[in-house]
Structure formats: structure tokens, C-alpha cells
């Protein structure tokens, strides 16, 4: 029984992973000077290409839970872990973590993510239009992956594609589906990366997802002081 963190690194400082003691870690490095013990990948397709590469290469030997994270995941994690919890200002883009805050965050990753964790995200929002910024077209992207006409009006999204994923959600799609998604990302069309970022939840669950207003949800969490990966604005509450 295992949990594996899959880290999509470019030029970020990933020394924080040294504080992760309870889980396996695989770091994919797209920089020109990859760090020791990382796996070198071409610098294409953003973090979504990295995550899809891992899924395809490990489809038949997945860990019980895979945690997909960016090289510096903490901006998006901070947003939903709570401004008050970390004593941060109520701003849309949190300040850099102090050493104490970073330790707290890594402790929560070690202690709260288990081999039997359910599907969850670190920060979940809804986009009410599939035509996202940067030229994304989620309907077109998903339609090509799944070889069917996808025409949804909204998608539930974890910015950065950062999810805690039990393997059953990955295995709910065939390896060929994930390979098709990877092949499309390998074309290195910029809009594909943004489209895939929005596509993850649908591919994992075959659902669009129903989530409330982010500001309202943040207010609820701040009021309850109930912060954690499994007590936050996450996907498992909707399944």
C-alpha cells in the first residue's frame, strides 16, 4: 500500500520534498540541468504533459494513491488551506511561505494523505465557460481524447491540475485514452496544456462537478477553522 508524489519540475526549488518522509516521490524535470535522481522530460505541454506521461508509463503498476503536484505547489495549496491558518493576508496570491509555514504544509502532506485517501484536490473552482484563457478549448480537447462529442458549459477545475488520486479513478479510463491525451499534449500546442488542466476532473470522474462560489467557500473555511486536504473545497465531497 503506497502513496506517490509526482512532481512536475522546471526551474523550481524542490528541496521541500526532503521534508516528505512518509511517501514515495518521483520528480520529472524539464529544465536544461535536471537534478540528481529526477527523470528528464522534454519541456513541452506544461505540468499536464508530465502527469500524463507518468500515468501512461505506470498504468499497469500504479500506486494506491498518486498525488500530482507542481514543482512549487504551495501557491494553490495555500489558497484553500486558509489565509487565517497561516496568518497570511486575505489576498488572491499568497505570499511566499515562511520556514514554519512550509514545515506545517509538509507535515500535513505526510500525515493527512493516506493510501486509502479518496479523490481530492487542493483548490477547486468552477469555470463556467469551456473556452478558457490562453486560447483553450476544453470541449474540443476532450472530444478528441474520448472520440465523442463533448459539449459541457462548465468544468470543475483544480488550478495546476493538483489532485490526490486513488488509482481506481485513473483506471476508470483505458490506457489508450490517457495515451491519446499524452499524444495531443506532445504536439506542444499551448492551448492544449490549459485545456488539459481543466479536463482532469472530467476524465477522472466522467462528471462536470458542482461546486459553489470560491469566495463563499473560503469564507466558510475561515469561519470554521477547518483546514486540511480532506476538509476543504475538494472533489471527494461531491462523489
Q: What's the pLDDT score for residue 130?
A: 58
Does 235 reside within a domain?
A: no
Query: Which stretch of DSSP H or E encloses residue 157?
Result: strand 155-157
Per the domain annotation, does 131 fall within a domain? yes
- Assess if residue 48 is contained within a domain: yes
Residue 231 lies in a domain: no
For residue 127, the model assigns a pLDDT of: 60
Contact present, 5 and 28 (Cβ < 8 Å): no
In a domain? residue 229 = no
| Successive 10-residue mean pLDDT values, the chain, 239 residues | 96 94 96 96 94 98 96 71 45 62 83 87 62 77 95 78 93 98 93 91 81 48 48 35
Instruction: Quote the pTM value.
Output: 0.84
Residue 234 lies in a domain: no
Contact criterion met (CB below 8 Å) for 81 and 61: no
Domain encompassing residue 65:
3-224
Closest CA to 118 of 169, 74, 158: 169
Structural domains of the chain, count:
1
C-alpha–C-alpha distance, residues 96 and 106, integer Å = 15
Contact 59, 81 (CB under 8 A): no
Is residue 124 domain-resident?
yes
pLDDT at position 123, please? Answer: 60
Query: What letters, b where the CB count within 10 A reaches 16 and e where it falls short, cover 111-125?
Result: eebeeebbbbbbbbb
**Element counts in the chain: helices (H) and strands (E):** 8, 8
Question: Does 133 map to a domain?
Answer: yes
| pLDDT value at residue 86 | 46
Amino acid at each position: 500500500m503506497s502513496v506517490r508524489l509526482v512532481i512536475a519540475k522546471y526551474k523550481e526549488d524542490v528541496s521541500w520534498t526532503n521534508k516528505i518522509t512518509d511517501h514515495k516521490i518521483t520528480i520529472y524535470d524539464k529544465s536544461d540541468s535536471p537534478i540528481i535522481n529526477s527523470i528528464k522530460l522534454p519541456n513541452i505541454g506544461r505540468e499536464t504533459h508530465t502527469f500524463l506521461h507518468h500515468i501512461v508509463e505506470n498504468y499497469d503498476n500504479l500506486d494506491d494513491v498518486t498525488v500530482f503536484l507542481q514543482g512549487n505547489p504551495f501557491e494553490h495549496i495555500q489558497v484553500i488551506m486558509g489565509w487565517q491558518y497561516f496568518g497570511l493576508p486575505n489576498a488572491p496570491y499568497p505570499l511566499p511561505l515562511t520556514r514554519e509555514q512550509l514545515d506545517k504544509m509538509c507535515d500535513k502532506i505526510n500525515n493527512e494523505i493516506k493510501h486509502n485517501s479518496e479523490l481530492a484536490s487542493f483548490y477547486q473552482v468552477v469555470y463556467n465557460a469551456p473556452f478558457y484563457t490562453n486560447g483553450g478549448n476544453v470541449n474540443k480537447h476532450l472530444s478528441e481524447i474520448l472520440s465523442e462529442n463533448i459539449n459541457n458549459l462548465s468544468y470543475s477545475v483544480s488550478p495546476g491540475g493538483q489532485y490526490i488520486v486513488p488509482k481506481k479513478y485513473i483506471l476508470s479510463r483505458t490506457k489508450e485514452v490517457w495515451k491519446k491525451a499524452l499524444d495531443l499534449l506532445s504536439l506542444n500546442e499551448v492551448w492544449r496544456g490549459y485545456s488539459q488542466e481543466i479536463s482532469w476532473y472530467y476524465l477522472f470522474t466522467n462528471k462536470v462537478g458542482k461546486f459553489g462560489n470560491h469566495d463563499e467557500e473560503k469564507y466558510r473555511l475561515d469561519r470554521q477553522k477547518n483546514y486540511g486536504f480532506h476538509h476543504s473545497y475538494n472533489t471527494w465531497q461531491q462523489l
